[in-house]
Amino acid sequence: MLDAGFLEALRAVVGDVGLLLGDSVRARPVNRSVGVVDADALVRPATTEEVSGVLALCHARSQPVVPHGGLTGLVHGAVARAGDLILSLERMNSIEHVDVTGRTLRAQAGVPLQRVQEAAEQYELMFPLDLGARGSATIGGNIATNAGGTRVVRYGMTRGLVLGLEAVLADGTVLTSLNRVLKNNAGYDLKQLFIGSEGTLGIVTRAELRLVAKPRSHDTALLAVQEFSALVRVLQHLDAGLGGHLSAFKVLWGNFYDINTAPPANHVPPLARGAPFYALIESLGTDPIADQARLEALLSDLLQMGVVADATIAKSDQERRAMWAIREDVFAVGRIAALQTFDVSMPIEAMQAYTEQVGAELDRLVGPDRTHIFGHMADGNLHLVVATGEDPKLRHRVDEIVYQPLARIGGSISAEHGIGTERLRYLSLSRTSAEIATMRTLKHALDPRGILNPGKILAARADLIR
Ligand code: ZN
């Protein structure tokens, strides 16, 4: 329990509306995938100065602080325990400025991603980051986790879309680096420290985001493909033929497509079920008629070459959304048993052998048709969803099967979701001991008392003993 004197000091900073206690913290809805959220107190500062005031108080008494954004993460990075103070950025939810000429937008950390996208669209601009949780995920959370999403092959991850940001350090120092220009090599690029740091090095409060011209054409197609090697040829052919317009190249393994398009799942299959692979592709361009014709021509080449077995182009926004919905839904797999979700990356050339080996081992361990794979093939990123159930020993063995081969093939245990607490013990498969030691040096320099999202990314030393 946090003592009364401390709570009163917090109240003096954030006011009555900014401090929630006891049942009013526990009554807030939290999705199961977020993990345990069991704190007694939550602060909701409304300004950067209030965030600074809160952290200065916490630093002075070594009070652990767990930052919360939209709570859509998948690696238990927002887990909070009794004795932790949750810091939510939900009241810092304004878009402060849009510079149409310079193509930048300044947002407070608590603005949901979708509102950033919509604000940009009003000016015929686009914020390219996009992901399924766009309605709830906040821009602060996207930055703290360096979110990837569906268009990385074209626009990069969040890191590439942040021009400047403001963060509050553990001791309350406000670090304002709201740079608005694309090029700025005046010393260390400090903002990069906070992007992808999962709230462990500072609290992101505002960001200057990079916008691009809004595309005038938007084509989505679904392809059925018979072999993995053909997927690689499809990707190369489309990438070369679309002249830089290819913005997404997702692959759905056949059993994932099948389970999501057969009852009781309610998605209608745009192409017949039964192919080993499906590719969902998106092209963002400049000329609706010419761009669609070009995509059609490329697809008909691929059909004639025998590389693609079948293909369909979405003819309306509704059809496009229906195609994406198949990819974004794990409801049908979740009906089998409690899920384990993975987010690994590797060179494309290692993907086929990896998925065959890991798929076969998981089939033997948890049973057939319980492992479903889909992912951002062009980014070297695969999501595995395994209907493992709740048994912790079995879940641990599944982890080992998925993660162990990655070190050898130069892969990563986390392509876009982060480490949180879920992947702590596997960090050393993707990072060298020198890298982890440097991370600890940074953590200690910026947060010497270890109050910011403790136990996330880097385990407390005692936890390292496995
Ligand atoms: Zn993804």
Model confidence at 461, pLDDT cuts 50, 70, 90, reads low
Q: Which residues have C-beta within 8 Å of that of residue 115, sequence separation ≥ 6?
A: 93, 95
Of the candidates 213, 232, 260, which is a domain's last residue?
Answer: 213
> Does some domain include residue 114?
yes
- For residue 148, report the distance from its CA to the centre of ligand 1, in Å: 7
How many whole angstroms separate alpha carbon 238 and alpha carbon 436? 39
CA of 417 to the centre of ligand 1 (A): 8
With a CB cutoff of 8 Å and minimum separation 6, the contacts of 158 are: 129, 142, 143, 145, 146, 147, 148, 195, 196
Compute the distance from residue 227 Cα to the ligand 1 centre, in Å: 22
pLDDT of residue 209 exceeding 70, the answer is yes
The chain-wide mean pLDDT, for the chain, equals: 94
Q: Is the pLDDT of residue 462 over 50?
A: no
CATH number at residue 230: 3.30.70.2190
The predicted-structure confidence for 163-180, as pLDDT tens digits, reads as follows: 999 999 999 999 999 999
Decide if 338 is inside a domain: no
208 with 229, same domain? no
Is pLDDT of 278 > 70? yes
Element (H, E) at 247: strand 246-253
Question: What distance in angstroms lies between residue 324's CA and the mean position of ligand 1's atoms?
Answer: 12
User: What is the distance in A from the centroid of ligand 1 to the CA of 373?
Assistant: 11
pLDDT-derived band at 205, boundaries 50, 70, 90: very high
Task: Answer yes or no: do 278 and 190 share one domain.
Answer: no
Same-domain status, 221 and 322:
yes
Domain endpoint, select from 175, 198, 213: 213
pLDDT digit string, tens, across residues 12-34: 999 999 999 999 998 888 877 78
How high is the pLDDT of residue 332?
85
| Residue 409 pLDDT greater than 60, yes or no | yes
Residue 273: name the closest of 309, 242, 306, 303 by CA: 309
Whether residue 152 sits in one domain with residue 54: no
- 359, part of any domain: yes
pLDDT at 249 over 60: yes
Distance from Cα 341 to the centre of ligand 1, integer Å: 11
Q: Ligand 1 centre and the CA of 327: distance in Å?
A: 10
The answer to whether residues 104 and 204 belong to one domain is yes
pLDDT at 224: 98
Residues 206 and 99 in one domain: yes
Give yes or no: residues 108 and 197 share one domain.
Answer: yes
Q: Is residue 333 part of a domain?
A: no
User: Which range marks the domain in which residue 285 is found?
Assistant: 217-328
Same domain, yes or no, for 103 and 120? yes
Regarding whether 206 and 106 lie in a shared domain, the answer is yes
**pLDDT single digits (tens) 114-154:** 999 999 999 999 999 999 899 999 999 999 999 999 999 99
Q: Is residue 231 part of a domain?
A: yes
In a domain, residue 447? The reply is: no
Taking the centre of ligand 1 as the mean of its atom positions, its distance from the CA of residue 360, in whole angstroms, is 23
CATH of the domain at 399: 3.30.70.2740
Residue 367 lies in a domain: yes
> What's the CA-to-centroid distance between 150 and ligand 1, angstroms?
7
The answer to whether the beta carbons of residues 81 and 421 sit under 8 Å apart is no
CATH of the domain at 121: 3.30.465.10
How far apart are the CA of 415 and the centre of ligand 1, in A? 8
Answer yes or no: is pLDDT of 246 > 60: yes
Answer yes or no: is 225 within a domain: yes
Q: What is the pLDDT of residues 323-382, one digit of tens each?
A: 999 988 888 888 899 999 999 999 999 999 999 999 999 999 999 999 999 999 999 999
| Centroid of ligand 1 to alpha carbon of 59 (angstroms) | 35
Question: Quick one: 386 and 288 in the same domain?
Answer: no
Query: What phi, psi does 135 have (nearest 5°)?
Result: -75, -30
Q: Kind and range of the H or E element at 322?
A: helix 317-328
Residue 342 CA, ligand 1 centroid: distance in Å: 10
Express each pLDDT in 425-435 by its tens digit.
999 999 999 99
288-304 and 228-241 are packed helices; what angle lies between their axes, rounded to 10 degrees?
150
Together in a domain, 157 and 248 = no
User: 391-403: per-residue pLDDT in tens?
Assistant: 999 999 999 999 9
Question: Domain boundary residue among 32, 58, 88?
Answer: 88
Q: Which of 408, 428, 322, 415 is nearest to 374 (CA)?
A: 415
Count up the domains in the chain and report the number.
4
Statement to judge: residues 34 and 63 lie in one domain? yes
pTM for the structure as a whole: 0.94
| Distance in angstroms (rounded) separating the CA atoms of residues 427 and 421 | 10
